[in-house]
Structure 1
Amino acid sequence: MKRKILIGWMLAITSASHAQTAADYPIRPVSFTQVKLADNFWLPRLKTNTDVTIPASFQRCEATNRVKNFEMAAARQGKFATTFPFDDTDIYKTIEGASYSMSLYPDEQLAAYVEALIAKVGAAQEPDGYLYTARTIDPAHPHPWAGMKRWEKERELSHELYNAGHLYEAAVAHYQATGKKSLLNIALKNADLVCATFGPGKLSVAPGHEIVEMGLVKLYRVTGQPKYLQTAKFFLDQRGQYKGYDPKSNDVWKNGQYWQDDKPVIAQKEAEGHAVRAEYLYSAMADVAALTGDKQLLAAVDTIWNNMVSKKFYVTGGTGAVPGGERFGNNYELPNATAYNETCASVADVYWNQRMFQLHGDSKYADIMEKVLYNGLLSGVGLDGKSFFYSNAMQIKNSASFAQTEPARAGWFDCSCCPTNLARLFPSLPGYVYAQHDKDVYVNLFVSSTTLLKVGKQPLQLTQQNNYPWDGGLKFTVNPDKPLDFNLLVRIPGWARGEAMPSDLYRFAGPSEQKVSIKINGKPVQYTMRKGYAVLPRKWHKNDVVEVTLPMEVRQVVANAKVQDDLGKVALQRGPIMYCAEWTDNHGKATNLIVPPTTSFATNFQPSLLNGITTLTATVPAVKVDEAANTISTVTQTLTAIPYYAWANRGKGEMTVWFPAKVLDVDLVTRPAMEREQLK
């Protein structure tokens, strides 16, 4: 019997590969299993993730009883031992990260631990595939968010399908990385139950916290079974169908906006509601649009993306400005002192922009992905690999702001979605570097690495070497087995083309005289641009070398005048890196610094500072308060700026991303001595 099932499954996978040629993303990423990193910037971070973050995450899942919940569910007795019904996902996400990591760094001990953990997950699963420890431990007394019946509160609180989605994502990663089906079998059993439960003529719901849709699509890709894709689309179609909301209410919970459930997805125009949920939804919309050819769905997700990047996106790549509901605010509502910018939203944004690139082949999506990766996402984890930001501040001014923004990272949270989301994102990075469509080979991220792929049926090795993001010199060595015709498409970042953002939300304050240059085998070449990519068509030979030089000057960035908090201010950018000033480099303060338009910056790479960074320094005016004389004046001092991602690794104090270009006004704040002490 088992043999028959296995054969059937293998046939399903084979048929899927044929079915997906009819409708799918036109551009496919090169799998993370086919890319080997040798990068000075990312590889140490991925090693820290493997050596520190993932073990710490597993240890904390043990210490906080997340693992115990599965053990009690397997025994069908006990009391749910953690806070939230979605705590199961921290284990799934860490398994996902460990799976990706083991493809980079094989580890027999880690592999054995993961398999033992998967066995506990499997033992907690009910016979029909249901897997949700918050109910299974004691069905008569489930978690209060869960309701007395399965799926009863899925729209609002239970997270049953959210848990399932993360299970599916982990299962596919584990299967792809290891070839083992231990977790995949558990996921498929659960997914079969979900497909049997929800659909036309069955239960209907718009999942309260999206991700099950993305997970179902991944199961469809692995198995070729149409029901998984159909159920993912069904969940999308249920949005805007619920009659229990008040469409006239301005309350985002009462009108359904918080859940992206106020209108059908094809009628949605703006990024709205809880940012993480939203960006998981938009990722799934892109998936389903690609796989079904649904043009209305494609038009909707395009419109929503344009709204986000033109009106609801922080200069550091953060999304979700409003702390109440961890959500997108109104258009141009991007406050600095209360910025939320959940780390999970940055993770979701990477997923979404990768899919948008695969749909359209436009570099603007990779530009956004790069901005998020090097800034708003990377800031979410400390250099130690085991301290995290849940939210990512844009400004820490004084103790008054401490109540609304995080001035320091923490090791774990009661709701610890962000640390485990980072644990799974980092080791998957190799899968975002390259992509392919027929004879077009794309380079999206500048990460020293080697990849093996095929153009037609011919093998090709492509190697890139650089010291990015500190240096703009990029080298690509092309090694086909024999002379090979194809187009190498190298992304020329928007920032290297004078474009701070693929919208008018941010722009560079002044023009640049520096240009991008490209050489092949030492000779300058003319090239055409296609959607932000330098297209290099050629019959390539073994050891052909492409050299691309990107200008790495310091640029001042200004915001659209409709962003009230940034009026009269500038941010600092060099290459893909956004900078901030931190108290420890600037005489104990950061928010008193002024950056006039004529400011000239020096750059200096400091290998011993913050694991190696390029700093920016300039002589600028600074506001100085003389308490004894009761006076305010401006003095000249050196401003030192560090990469935004590196802040808060040397203690707690002031930080700012935006600098006034001149003094227009002074806010008078009385700060008791006790509060001053808290800043030290």
Structure 2
Amino acid sequence: MKSTLLTAFTLTLGLSTAALAQHSDYPIQAVSFTKVKLTDNFWLPRLKTNTDVTIPASFQRCQATNRVKNFEMAAAKKGKFATTFPFDDTDIYKTIEGASYSMSLYPDEKLGAYVDALIAKVAAAQEPDGYLYTARTIDPAHPHAWAGKERWEKERELSHELYNSGHLYEAAVAHYQATGKKNFLNIALKNADLVCSVFGPGKRSVAPGHEIVEMGLVKLYRVTGKPEYLSTAKFFLQQRGTYKGYDPKSPDVWKNGSYWQDDKSVYDQREAIGHAVRAEYLYSAMADVAALTDDKRMLASVDSIWENMVSKKFYVTGGTGAVPGGERFGKNYELPNTTAYNETCASVADVYWNQRMFLLHGQSKYIDVMEKVLYNGLISGVGLDGKSFFYSNAMQIKNSASFPQTEPARAGWFDCSCCPTNLARLFPSLPGYVYAQRSNDVFVNLFVSGSTELLVNKKKVQLTQQNNYPWDGGLKFTVNPASATNFNLRVRIPGWARGQAMPSDLYTFAAPSEKTVTIRINGKPQQYSVQDGYAVLTRKWQKNDVVDVELPMEVRQVVANPLVRDDLGKVAIQRGPIVYCAEWTDNSGKTSNLIVPSNTAFTAAYKPDVLNGVMELTAKVPAIKVDAASNSVSTVSQTMTAIPYYAWANRGKGEMTVWFPRQVLDIDLITQPTAEVTVGK
């Protein structure tokens, strides 16, 4: 895993090439978000909405909820912490991060000036030695109850001091990369130097309670080459499982340390456990440190954890973290629908983690999982208006006395508003996930229209995508090298196009397909080999060579592993990368009564005026009807309409279903005002 890490950013800070070349790194490098320009019909409007609506709304809400005021009071050293949680500082950091990425897409002098003014307030709140934590600095004699009397005292369980630092670092690096300015970066470096002086071998030790400082320190290391940042990140990882205050025999996740992924050494962890967001930030950092320090034991651990998650703890929509109590992973195959949690932040973290796993291994299965998250369980977290959100993402909403609605409507903000600001920073970073490179291998990972300029074999190569993905499977790539050059174009063939619903046996397609992926170069059909899930197109590329890929866009039924008890006898519906649901407003006010037999034939039709434009699915299916007057139950034929899961809950409150029974197996009479039918097992 050797490579030279050299960027314009490190050169700006005076780091030598030789110093960087001594270290291991990911064998594959992502093409920077600054080098990819989008023209995509699906993603570009979402990024524009994020720029025009989400980010301004986030800044406004940070102001209105006194998050900005906390920094102003910290600078003045007087007042009373004015918000709920000590990690509320991070909402400003994350929104600045999103605004920074956004300004690389849409330069905006007014936004840049506002961000600089906020950064000045952050700088004023920073203490002389670099400490930055408004919940203490405002009134050190009376800090937040979660913070403890002394710095770092409650870092393991409650204070989030290092969590705040981690988001500061991530935001500062994004701002620096996007703008070239060091005003925010200098604040982060000053804080990181303090952290490195306090924590380490022979100094203070702790496993950070909410991981992300490790990822942030790695990013600062990449920018500066300062070895202390990388070694401190690794030190924090290696502190897990060393705390003696937990009871390893207790089944309580808080008492045994598993909630914080602190019950075992990172070298001994093999299962995705505990708070899902913390966990996936931890696993992202483990991948970073394994790559940068060539730590094969850590790599083996994170590989095993990934396999556990995708084979036993992953929702069909890409959501993770099944259990509301602790926002955490459940037991293997514990994936309930009516109580599914699936925090939006966990989907954000999952994108980060799977990108890193791909950069380690070069296998398409990691991008397959990332694509499932991006097109389903992540964008479901934000309304089509760009300013209403889900904190958790349900799998079923059922109206009855026994199944009360839990979260059928989106909210503009939350007391703990980590999810809206996490989305604000994730969306505009999307261009950085489209392409990657390893020597003369060029990877096309996401099918997003736009262009990039690469340097392959020391020659400039422009690569342009044109498609109408995810609605259409026709993909066009124009390869335009400055002069003829040999390289391998590796185009991902999604698992769903190769008959694989999931890179595990957790989900499978109910029936096989005879359709195949076809590829043409300059109009001529190509025989191609598939390696690690990529079609490898090796040739001497000429100016304006055109590659056409046709992916079969069929409507497929998906079944779950029989060990997922909640999905026994049920199917989900998928077309391309999109998982579908049925919503009340399209289905006579109810969805929990719909049955989808195995022979159901769906028709797909694009509806530009529905939900900002979606491919809608319709089919004739049986529906359960209850006649209270005659005290009878029957099935009738009804037209079922399904919409992309990501688009639900944009038209009011009502029922929603992802998993549909295939047949009536039983009738369960319960003592409610009206009879209720149970279908499936």
Tell me which residue corresponds to 1:355: 356
Post-superposition shift, 1:630?
Answer: 1.5
Pairing 1:388-399 to 2, within 5 Å after superposition:
388-398=389-399
Mean Cα deviation higher: 205-214 or 405-414: 405-414
Asked whether 1:368 is paired with 2:364, we answer no
**Aligned mates of 2:400, 2:183 — CA distance in 1:** 50
Q: 1:277 to 1:151 in 2, by over 3 A?
A: same
Q: CA RMSD in A?
A: 1.4
Post-superposition shift, 1:457?
Answer: 1.4
Asked whether 1:437 is paired with 2:446, we answer no
**Aligned mates of 2:621, 2:314 — CA distance in 1:** 28
**Aligned mates of 1:11, 1:585 — CA distance in 2:** 56
Tell me which residue corresponds to 1:205: 206
The one-letter amino acid paired with 1:389 is F
Tell me which residue corresponds to 2:615: 614
Tell me which residue corresponds to 2:75: 74
Post-superposition shift, 1:362?
Answer: 0.1
Asked whether 1:509 is paired with 2:521, we answer no
**Aligned mates of 1:473, 1:58 — CA distance in 2:** 39
| Contact 2:23/2:293 (8 A) holds in 1 | no
Tell me which residue corresponds to 2:595: 594
Pairing 1:139-154 to 2, within 5 Å after superposition:
139-154=140-155
The one-letter amino acid paired with 1:221 is R
Pairing 1:469-548 to 2, within 5 Å after superposition:
469-548=470-549
**Aligned mates of 1:257, 1:24 — CA distance in 2:** 30
**Aligned mates of 1:446, 1:481 — CA distance in 2:** 23
| Contact 2:37/2:431 (8 A) holds in 1 | yes
The one-letter amino acid paired with 2:646 is Y
Pairing 1:191-230 to 2, within 5 Å after superposition:
191-230=192-231
Tell me which residue corresponds to 1:560: 561
| Contact 2:19/2:225 (8 A) holds in 1 | no
Post-superposition shift, 1:477?
Answer: 0.1
| Contact 2:560/2:567 (8 A) holds in 1 | yes
Pairing 1:242-281 to 2, within 5 Å after superposition:
242-281=243-282
Q: 1:8 to 1:267 in 2, by over 3 A?
A: closer
**Aligned mates of 2:505, 2:232 — CA distance in 1:** 38
Q: 1:534 to 1:499 in 2, by over 3 A?
A: same
Tell me which residue corresponds to 1:63: 64
Asked whether 1:307 is paired with 2:308, we answer yes
| Contact 2:477/2:547 (8 A) holds in 1 | yes
Asked whether 1:584 is paired with 2:585, we answer yes
Post-superposition shift, 1:285?
Answer: 0.0
Tell me which residue corresponds to 2:106: 105
Tell me which residue corresponds to 2:333: 332
Q: 1:402 to 1:447 in 2, by over 3 A?
A: farther
Q: Deviations over 1:404-428 (max 9, x none)?
A: 7311110000000000000000000
**Aligned mates of 2:91, 2:667 — CA distance in 1:** 46
Q: Deviations over 1:163-191 (max 9, x none)?
A: 00000000000000000001000000000
Tell me which residue corresponds to 1:3: none
| Contact 1:99/1:178 (8 A) holds in 2 | yes
| Contact 1:337/1:401 (8 A) holds in 2 | no
| Contact 1:338/1:404 (8 A) holds in 2 | no
Q: 1:487 to 1:21 in 2, by over 3 A?
A: farther
Q: Deviations over 1:27-53 (max 9, x none)?
A: 000000000000000000000000000
Post-superposition shift, 1:667?
Answer: 3.5
| Contact 1:12/1:225 (8 A) holds in 2 | no
**Aligned mates of 1:500, 1:378 — CA distance in 2:** 20
SS of residue paired to 1:113: helix
Tell me which residue corresponds to 2:86: 85
**Aligned mates of 1:187, 1:63 — CA distance in 2:** 25
**Aligned mates of 2:641, 2:354 — CA distance in 1:** 32
**Aligned mates of 1:190, 1:401 — CA distance in 2:** 51
**Aligned mates of 2:21, 2:198 — CA distance in 1:** 26
Tell me which residue corresponds to 2:644: 643
Tell me which residue corresponds to 1:236: 237
SS of residue paired to 1:578: strand
Q: 1:38 to 1:314 in 2, by over 3 A?
A: same
**Aligned mates of 2:147, 2:669 — CA distance in 1:** 49
The one-letter amino acid paired with 1:203 is R
- Percent of counterpart pairs with the same letter? 80
Q: Tell me the TM-score normalised to structure 1 length.
A: 0.97
Q: Tell me the TM-score normalised to structure 2 length.
A: 0.97
Number of residues paired by the alignment?
667
Post-superposition shift, 1:465?
Answer: 0.3
Tell me which residue corresponds to 1:454: 455
- Consecutive unaligned residues of structure 2, counting only runs of 5 or more, are 1-7, 675-681
Q: 1:8 to 1:643 in 2, by over 3 A?
A: closer
**Aligned mates of 1:303, 1:242 — CA distance in 2:** 23
| Contact 2:398/2:404 (8 A) holds in 1 | no
Tell me which residue corresponds to 2:387: 386
Q: 1:8 to 1:370 in 2, by over 3 A?
A: closer
Tell me which residue corresponds to 2:5: none
Tell me which residue corresponds to 1:174: 175
Asked whether 1:423 is paired with 2:424, we answer yes
Q: Deviations over 1:559-592 (max 9, x none)?
A: 0000000000000000000000000000000010
Mean Cα deviation higher: 663-672 or 98-107: 663-672
| Contact 1:340/1:405 (8 A) holds in 2 | no
SS of residue paired to 2:15: helix
| Contact 2:9/2:177 (8 A) holds in 1 | no
Tell me which residue corresponds to 2:25: 24
**Aligned mates of 1:426, 1:100 — CA distance in 2:** 9
Q: 1:516 to 1:236 in 2, by over 3 A?
A: same
| Contact 2:337/2:566 (8 A) holds in 1 | yes
Tell me which residue corresponds to 1:118: 119
| Contact 1:210/1:281 (8 A) holds in 2 | yes
